[in-house]
Structure 1
């Protein structure tokens, strides 16, 4: 597109009146085109100079009083990452090492600001400013900084790192565990998500983020959190948690971290991290169409048959169909569910517990069933799995003590996510239910 086009979009964005689609297009252009990045930086500087905040803090002022929240809130959240990427571009120091990859599970890719990429499948590499992201939903990466601070990102995740008077991180999505040594008050660690900005001086905490929410749990020390949508701030101390939503309808509250649960029933529609959710209404229509073609149901009776079948399934039923992901070696057909994003309590994997998995495959297949989980100290996240042979409609149970890595089992760990995959495209793997059954 011509520069005149981007000038118009950037101007609308800075004034808080760009549409969601325009912001998405602008974000993609900034990531892909250096000229657009430079244009954005130039116009942002001018905008900041002409429209200082009432508090004198130098923040760009949007037309908040004149715009409905759903628009201004989205603009502010989107701006955090649009500006963040531009800032990373300015701060990139040509490849200076910021952290070392201490551990890797699964497939992880690092992309420098200049676009050069590298895949990691082992520890030891140094990384400079750029983006670290999971290539498969079961991946994780552990980063260690020069001062001994450690950050663990678990997939699906997208984490940008840089420095500017201290460590600067932006978590677009994923689960992040951080153990941060005491930082100088003038150089705190700053961590941004789409909905919140965090300031860290020295602590251990857990962060879960996506476009709509940020959940913070503090294990040691304290963390300051500011909600992007309305600038409301709280300080979260050890043993407490808070959640910053995209909307301001709910107050920003700090509550005690609850005791862990030992059971979990997945909400397939809302917990899905990877895979294609299809509600039961659509599945029944497809099934009914096939039955009509086969002569099993007369078309004149279709409405009655559909209503009867729908009445026999629970509300919210459906299936997650596995979708492809590519690691360095092969294509996997993957479904994954977050056990953290919507859970009210941490979920502990006990020795007596077992997973019940319901689903369907189009032909006899070998599937891998697994979890990502972390120990209570958040120091050793793991990917635990087991293989099973399934065919047709299946309903199987997998004891937690059978889920393992090469060196340990999942017992005693906290559940982060559940996943299932196959290498067989023709299997058409669909998951219709996942449940953790306790004692």
Structure 2
């Protein structure tokens, strides 16, 4: 709006009330959507207030000098007309300042497209989701029946199970995805501001206006983003940031130290004063083996058997009857580990035990190489096809056997980075335990 003198003239004429209805609509729409227009109006208000202060100071100085002359020369005080002219000089910029502030606040808080003539705090729209999710909005209202296309007002978005994810979009097409067991609070402000309590987030942020970066808060760090693609993985005591494009500014909360993280680099901000070094992201690998219990995301670690036991997880999707999952999950390339890429012909080898003959759902969370969330993939296995007589199993699943949860994602995960892995049974506690998982490339002799 404020790229040229003509547009600025419209803003000033709007303050004076000298616009025709068509021009007024152009200005009010611009003030709702254009930060530069609002910034210009703020400048006008600040300049007007400054001018008013100068006028008041000058008026006081002149009044003081007049009083001294009156005492010295016994002259009469200034005529009332002089006082009136001085007051008008002061009131004119104050009127501009007041009008500018009123117009600005009106443009920010009273939005005609809200449908109710009130403050519309809808800041994001759901563009995709799967699995158990929950939204807690204004007044503590809880919504378990989220839908694609639904607008969300300031509140908290949660993905509740290992195979859940939600993608949201801002009006400027900036995209944010959370997955797994994650909690994200969305502030109802013009400036994008998010609080990631725990879990993982992937964002593709369009260029932001100078001075108004996207802000992301975690328990241990604050991120400032002007336009980039990055991933965040956070727990109570650590935040790992990986930047794939652009640059992100990170402030570690424990001591206020600041780092600039460029593309293809990562940094860990811990609650302690541990190392806080920006490092080049490690080169990708094609082979991986679990390191339990360090890799555990969900489940109960059983030290006596050195195994990860699947534990209950309630799946609530919409208004349907809740489903009880018994799940175990582990990280693959979280933290500072090198990214793990799924190659053609590779296979997952899973060893464990089940006490009853149940179907097993095996899943993956993936990301694009040096990019964001790429979908979740799953593969079903009837226990009868792999469970041995002693209830142990040594199961292999080809990467090609994994299918996307949603048709919007690639038909195969080949070429993608695997972020985490999980397996589960549905509605039945089959006594599932996992002792090891490994990814074996096609050219391996194992």
Task: Output the TM-score relative to the length of structure 2.
Answer: 0.66
Match in the other structure for 1:389: 382
Cα drift, residue 343 of structure 1: 4.9
In the alignment, the residues of structure 2 paired with residue 339 and residue 121 of structure 1 have an alpha-carbon distance, to the nearest angstrom, of 29
Give the alignment of 1:224-303 within 5 angstroms.
224-248=249-273, 250-280=274-304, 283=305
1:251-303 C-alpha deviation (Å, 9 max, x unpaired): 210111122111121223122221111113xx4xxxxxxxxxxxxxxxxxxxx
Residue number in structure 1 paired with 2:74: none
Equivalents in 2 of 1:388, 1:121: separation in Å? Answer: 30
Q: Distance in 2 between matches of 1:411 and 1:146?
A: 32
**1:245–1:103 distance in 2 versus 1, CA, 3 Å:** same
Alpha-carbon contact 1:274-1:323 (below 8 Å) kept: no
Larger mean CA deviation between 394-403 and 379-388 belongs to 379-388
Question: Does the 8 Å CA contact 2:162/2:329 hold for their aligned counterparts?
Answer: yes
Mapped contact 1:242–1:254 kept (Cα < 8 A): yes
Contact preservation (8 Å) 2:353, 2:434: yes
Does structure 1 residue 201 correspond to structure 2 residue 226? yes
Q: Deviations over 1:41-77 (max 9, x none)?
A: xxxxxxxxxxxxxxxxxxxxxxxxxxxxxxxxxxxxx
Write the deviation string for residues 93-126 of structure 1: whole angstroms up to 9, x where unpaired: 9762110001112221111142112225642111
Match of 1:170 in 2: 195
In structure 2, what is the Cα distance between the partners aligned to 1:422 and 1:122? 26
Q: 1:247 to 1:379 in 2, by over 3 A?
A: closer
Per-residue CA deviation, residues 386-415 of structure 1 (Å, 9 max, x unaligned), is 111223111101111111125412111111
Which residue of structure 1 lines up, in the alignment, with residue 421 of structure 2? 418
Asked if 2 retains the 8 angstrom alpha-carbon contact of 1:369 and 1:387, the reply is yes
SS in 1 for 2:128: strand
Pairing partner for 2:430 from 408, 422, 427: 427
Task: Tell me how far apart the structure 1 counterparts of residues 146 and 190 of structure 2 sit (CA, whole Å).
Answer: 31
Deviation at 1:438, TM superposition (A): 1.9
Distance 1:223 1:426, change over 3 A: closer
Q: Which residue of 308, 323, 326 maps to 1:319?
A: 308
Give the distance between the partners of 1:204 and 1:413, measured in 2 at CA: 16
Structure 1 contact 208–340 (Cα < 8 Å) conserved: no
CA–CA distance in structure 2, aligned partners of residues 424 and 118 of structure 1? 23
Residues 354 and 437, structure 1, Cα contact 8 Å, conserved in 2 = yes
Query: Does residue 357 of structure 2 align to residue 354 of structure 1?
Result: no
User: Unmatched 5+ residue regions in structure 1?
Assistant: 1-92, 284-316
Provide closer, same or farther for how the CA distance between residues 348 and 121 of structure 1 changes in structure 2, counting only shifts above 3 A: farther
Distance 2:248 2:429 in 1: 48
The CA distance in 2 between the partners of 1:322 and 1:359, in whole Å, is: 15
Q: Which residue of 1 aligns with 2:363?
A: 370
Q: 4+ runs of 1 displaced by more than 3 Å? A: 377-380
Residues 321, 332 of structure 1: CA spacing in aligned structure 2 closer, same or farther, 3 A cutoff?
Answer: closer
- Native 8 Å contact 1:156 1:273 kept in 2: no
Matched residue of 1:333: which SS? strand
Matched residues, number: 311
Q: Cα RMSD between the aligned structures?
A: 1.9
Per-residue deviation, 1:426: 3.6
Distance 1:122 1:400, change over 3 A: farther
Whole-Å separation in 1 of the counterparts to 2:250 and 2:202: 16
Q: Name which of 328, 340, 363 aligns with 1:335.
A: 328
Partner residue of 1:142 out of 167, 172, 178 = 167
Partner residue, 2:154 = 129
**Whole-Å separation in 1 of the counterparts to 2:278 and 2:161:** 33
Structure 1 length-normalised TM = 0.67
